[in-house]
C-alpha cells in the first residue's frame, strides 16, 4: 500500500507547495492528455482511411496486372497495348488496357496515385508521435527490456526508420533483377530488426517499429522509385525520346502488405507481442501473411493452389499451440484478501483508480478500477488473466511488479478469490 499512502501524502502536501500552482499544472497536464487523445482519434481515422485507399488501389493494380490478356483487337496491338481486361463492377462494364511502355501521345488528364501512400505514411508517423513519442516513457520504453531514456528510445525509433530505408534502397539497387535473392535479403533484415528492437523497446513498440519500418519501405518506394520513374516516362514522352521500360519493372512489391497490416493491428493482441519470444512470433505471423498473399498472387494468374491456405492454417494452429499460456503453478498458499489487495494497491492502483497517479494516465484505463474491494473481487478472473497468465499487466510493467507478487495474485484467485476468509462467488472455480 506504499504507493497509496504516498499519494495521500502528496495530496496533503499540496498546500505547502502553493495550491494554485499545483492545481493549474495538473489541470494543464490533464488537458494535454485529453488533447492528445483527440489527436490520436483523428490521426488514426485519417491513417486507416488513407491506408485503405492506398492498399486498395495497390491490390487492385496487382490483380489487374495479372488479369491482363493479349489484346484481341489488332488495332490495339498496333497502338502499343500490351494487355487488356474486361471487368464488371458497381453495375458497369469496364475495359482496361495496359500499354507496353507508353501510349503514342501523352493523354491529358493523366491520373497519378501517390497521395494515398504519402498520407498513410505521414499520418502513421503522426500517430507514432502523439502516442509513442509523446508518452515515450510509458509506451516506448520498458525498463525490464532495456534501461534507456525516453529520448534515446525516440532516437532509436526514428533512426531505425531512416537506416531501414537506406538499407532497403541499397539492397534493392544491388540486387536488381534477382528477386528471390532480394526477398531473402529483406527477410534477413526484417528478422535482425525484429530481434534487435525486441531487446531495446517495449514489446508492443517493437512490433510497431518493425511494421513502421516496412511501411516506410513501401511509402518511400512510391516517393523515391515509382513516382520518379513515372516522371521520367512522361518526360521522355514529352521530349520525343523512347522511355526506358525498366521504370515499369522497378519498385514492384507484392508481399509486404499483409505482414505490415498484422504489425499495425498487433497492439490489440498481447498474446503475440507479450510472449517471451515475441520477435519470433512476429516473424512467424509475418511469414504466414506473405505466404497467404502468395496464394492471392497466384490466384490472380488463374492458379488456385489450395495447399497454401491449408498449410497457412496448419501453421497458425502450430503457432497457437506453441505460444499457448502454460499452467500457472505457484508456491504461495493461503493468501488473504489483504495480501492480494496490497499487491494491487502497489502495482495496479497507480493507473486503475478513479484518481490515477501514474503520469500519462489521466483516467483509469478501460474504466478498470481497483479502489474498492468489490471492484477487485468482481474482476478476479481478469486480474488473473492479465497479471498472471499473459503478464500483460501492469502495463509495460511500469510499476515493477515482481514474480512473487504475481504469485500472490495467482494463489489468491486459485484459492477462490476469498474476501476476509470467505470465498467470493465471482472468483469460484477460477483456478
Ligand atoms: C501503467 C499503467 C497501468 C498499470 C500499472 C496497470 N495497468 Fe491494467 N491497463 C492499463 C492500460 C493502458 C490498459 C488498457 C489495455 C491495453 O491497452 O492493452 C489496461 C487494462 C487492464 C485490464 C482490462 C483488460 C481488458 O481486456 O479490457 C485489466 C483487467 C487490467 N488492466 C488489470 C491490471 C492489473 C491487475 C494490474 C496490476 C497488476 C494493472 N492492470 C496495472 C494500464 C495499467
Model pLDDT, residue 22: 62
Q: How many CA atoms lie within 13 A of 3 on its CB side?
A: 21
Pairwise pLDDT comparison (3 vs 323), residue with the higher score: 323
User: Distance (Å, rounded) from C-alpha 210 to C-alpha 279?
Assistant: 10
Model confidence pLDDT, tens digit, residues 48-72: 999 999 999 999 999 999 999 999 8
Model pLDDT, residue 265: 95
Probe target for ligand 1 pocket from 347, 357, 394, with the most ligand atoms within 8 Å of CB: 394
Angle between helices 150-174 and 203-221 (to 10 degrees): 40
pLDDT confidence of 20, banded at 50, 70, 90? Answer: low
Model pLDDT, residue 19: 52
Asked whether residue 7 carries a pLDDT value surpassing 70, the answer given is no
Residue minimizing CA distance to atom 11 of ligand 1: 365
The finding on whether 370 has its CB within 6 A of some atom of ligand 1 is no
The finding on whether 352 has its CB within 6 A of some atom of ligand 1 is yes
CB 427 within 8 A of CB 413: yes
Quote the percentage of the chain above a pLDDT of 70.
91
Instruction: Please spell the DSSP secondary structure of 56-122, one letter per residue.
Output: HHHHHHHHHHHH-B--S-HHHHHHTEEEEEEEEETTEEEEEEEESS--SS--SS-----HHHHHHHH
Model pLDDT, residue 360: 78
The finding on whether 274 has its CB within 6 A of some atom of ligand 1 is no
Model pLDDT, residue 404: 92
User: Distance (Å, rounded) from C-alpha 288 to C-alpha 380?
Assistant: 36
Among residues 233, 274, 423, 409, the alpha carbon closest in space to that of 332 is found at: 409
Probe target for ligand 1 pocket from 370, 393, 404, 426, with the most ligand atoms within 8 Å of CB: 393
Model pLDDT, residue 193: 98
Model pLDDT, residue 327: 67
Asked whether residue 113 carries a pLDDT value surpassing 90, the answer given is yes
Model pLDDT, residue 419: 86
Per-domain boundaries in the chain: 33-62+109-286, 69-99, 328-427
The finding on whether 386 has its CB within 6 A of some atom of ligand 1 is yes
Region 171-191 average pLDDT: 93
Distance of CA 394 from the midpoint of ligand 1 (Å): 6
Range in 102-106, 230-234, 422-426 the model is least confident about = 422-426
Query: Which run of H or E residues covers position 419?
Result: strand 418-419
Model pLDDT, residue 424: 52
Model pLDDT, residue 12: 38
The finding on whether 350 has its CB within 6 A of some atom of ligand 1 is yes
Asked whether residue 2 carries a pLDDT value surpassing 50, the answer given is no
Model pLDDT, residue 123: 97
The finding on whether 359 has its CB within 6 A of some atom of ligand 1 is no
Distance of CA 368 from the midpoint of ligand 1 (Å): 7
Residue minimizing CA distance to atom 6 of ligand 1: 394
Distance of CA 364 from the midpoint of ligand 1 (Å): 9
Residue minimizing CA distance to atom 43 of ligand 1: 395
pLDDT confidence of 423, banded at 50, 70, 90? Answer: low
Model confidence pLDDT, tens digit, residues 24-53: 777 887 788 888 889 999 999 999 999 999
pTM of structure = 0.81
Average pLDDT, the chain: 88
Asked whether residue 21 carries a pLDDT value surpassing 80, the answer given is no
Query: Which run of H or E residues covers position 409?
Result: helix 403-414
Model pLDDT, residue 85: 94
Residue minimizing CA distance to atom 22 of ligand 1: 368
The finding on whether 380 has its CB within 6 A of some atom of ligand 1 is no
Residue minimizing CA distance to atom 12 of ligand 1: 365
Model confidence pLDDT, tens digit, residues 329-379: 777 888 999 999 999 999 999 999 999 998 878 889 999 999 999 999 999
Distance of CA 63 from the midpoint of ligand 1 (Å): 43
Probe target for ligand 1 pocket from 347, 351, 405, 410, with the most ligand atoms within 8 Å of CB: 351
Amino acid at each position: 500500500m506504499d504507493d497509496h499512502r504516498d499519494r495521500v501524502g502528496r495530496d496533503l502536501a499540496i498546500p505547502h507547495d502553493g495550491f494554485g500552482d499545483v492545481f493549474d499544472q495538473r489541470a494543464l497536464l490533464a488537458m494535454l492528455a485529453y488533447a492528445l487523445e483527440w489527436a490520436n482519434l483523428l490521426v488514426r481515422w485519417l491513417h486507416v482511411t488513407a491506408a485503405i485507399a492506398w492498399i486498395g488501389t495497390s491490390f487492385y493494380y496487382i490483380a489487374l496486372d495479372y488479369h491482363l490478356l493479349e489484346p484481341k483487337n489488332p488495332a490495339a496491338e498496333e497502338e502499343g497495348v500490351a494487355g487488356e481486361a474486361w471487368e464488371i463492377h458497381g453495375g458497369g462494364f469496364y475495359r482496361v488496357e495496359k500499354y507496353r511502355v507508353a501510349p503514342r501521345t501523352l493523354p491529358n488528364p493523366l491520373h497519378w496515385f501517390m497521395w494515398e501512400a504519402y498520407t498513410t505514411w505521414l499520418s502513421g508517423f503522426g500517430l507514432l508521435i502523439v502516442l509513442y513519442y509523446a508518452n515515450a516513457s510509458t509506451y516506448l520504453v520498458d525498463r525490464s527490456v532495456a534501461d534507456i531514456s525516453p529520448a534515446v528510445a525516440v532516437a532509436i525509433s526514428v533512426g531505425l526508420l531512416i537506416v531501414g530505408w537506406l538499407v532497403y534502397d541499397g539492397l534493392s539497387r544491388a540486387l536488381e533483377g534477382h528477386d528471390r535473392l532480394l526477398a531473402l535479403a529483406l527477410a534477413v533484415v526484417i528478422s535482425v530488426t525484429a530481434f534487435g528492437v525486441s531487446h531495446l523497446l517495449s514489446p508492443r513498440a517493437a512490433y510497431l517499429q518493425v511494421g513502421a519500418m516496412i511501411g516506410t519501405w513501401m511509402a518511400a518506394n512510391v516517393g523515391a522509385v515509382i513516382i520518379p520513374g513515372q516522371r521520367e516516362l512522361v518526360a521522355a514522352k514529352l521530349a520525343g525520346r523512347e522511355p526506358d521500360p525498366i521504370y515499369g519493372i522497378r519498385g514492384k512489391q507484392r508481399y509486404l502488405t499483409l505482414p505490415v497490416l498484422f504489425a499495425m493491428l498487433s497492439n490489440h493482441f498481447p498474446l503475440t507481442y507479450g510472449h517471451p519470444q515475441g520477435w519470433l512470433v512476429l516473424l512467424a505471423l509475418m511469414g504466414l501473411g506473405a505466404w497467404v498473399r502468395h496464394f492471392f498472387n497466384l490466384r490472380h494468374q488463374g492458379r488456385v493452389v489450395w495447399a497454401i491456405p491449408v498449410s497457412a492454417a496448419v501453421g497458425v494452429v502450430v503457432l497457437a499451440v506453441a505460444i499457448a499460456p502454460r499452467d500457472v503453478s505457484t508456491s504461495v498458499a493461503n493468501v488473504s484478501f489483504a495480501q492480494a489487495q496490497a499487491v494491487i494497491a502497489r502495482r495496479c492502483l497507480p493507473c486503475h483508480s478513479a484518481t490515477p497517479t501514474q503520469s500519462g494516465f489521466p483516467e483509469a484505463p478501460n474504466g478498470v478500477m481497483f479502489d474498492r474491494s468489490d471492484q477487485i473481487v468482481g474482476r478476479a478472473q481478469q486480474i488473473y488473466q492479465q497479471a498472471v497468465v499473459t503478464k500483460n499487466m501492469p502495463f509495460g510493467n511500469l510499476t515493477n511488479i515482481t514474480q512473487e507478487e504475481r504469485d500472490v495474485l495467482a494463489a489468491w484467485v486459485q484459492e477462490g478469490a476469498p474476501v476476509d476468509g470467505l470465498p467470493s462467488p465471482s472468483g469460484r472455480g477460477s483456478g
